[in-house]
Structure 1
């Protein structure tokens, strides 16, 4: 199959955007997109072309065997050290959020593991490149992923750690960090059979959301609070 060279100063964010566009195009039945998938990823399931399928197609178009290899190749062009940790922290965080709604506890085990390990890896890189706010946000992501794939006790552990960091370092936090922390803890408590405590956290998350200054940030929080699963807790 023919391949093409990576563009100069390639950005993984741009490549991820291309993968999202390809996924949508295949879903809409565009012949050019379907042909790209057929040539570079002939084993894909025509009934469900996922973001991971699109990413693999993009990677193979550039002559690489996998999306992680593409990530590594792009990253080698960046400076080493702290900035490299920051780069991987951002990219792994974004990729994990992208995949979060596509993978759950009914998904293949390897997909569940990759999702969870991606969240852990993002947090580890932020420990090297960020501050306690970045750490708290990493803990939040781990909690959400763990709950999504049925690892409820792990989810509760990391949700508690997220709130602990938010409360210990308020000067480093944005006004939306605490409501997000309480949202994750509410889900985790509900998932582990503690509905009264979960309701109290959810009520606090909603109240704090109303005090978030930025309209865009407030909307993001409201959208997350509207999403399930709430594990039996009436949202």
Structure 2
């Protein structure tokens, strides 16, 4: 499949692992850890054959081609039912109800269903989590967004990451190792099940929930 995509002119391919959401009636089930590791190794091997570089945990792209990813942007505005918006101080989710979304738009109302107000710490953690997805953590990018040093905010976390062999120091900041990339995959899976799965399941049932308690 990945050969077909690149031979057809694709410049970037994301090989997202299958996730079994609790509200979906999926007949197939996700691969076990052993087979996932084998899949990652295979993707790394054929990416070299295709002269691609690994630009994120599951993404491979042609060299010297601008990469695309919406979730790793520092700020973005979401339009449409179930879309999300992230700015400096908050994270918002639009209602999942298409009917309610249209009604809000027709009445010049913002269709926000839920809002998470960031503290400076949680906003920085959000940035760190999704930049780990890209395999690279840039000091300069962090300082421009938060006006402070990466090592000052995450001194303990970065030290532990190096100690455990999950990241290595680079000229620009830090980079995830192969072990770190696979560990991130496991963390992201847990994040999906504890946060995204629960949030989406509730929002599919309620257009305007008062709140969602994740834990």
TM-score (norm 1): 0.28
TM-score (norm 2): 0.30
Point out the structure with the larger helix share: 1
Point out the structure with the larger strand share: 2
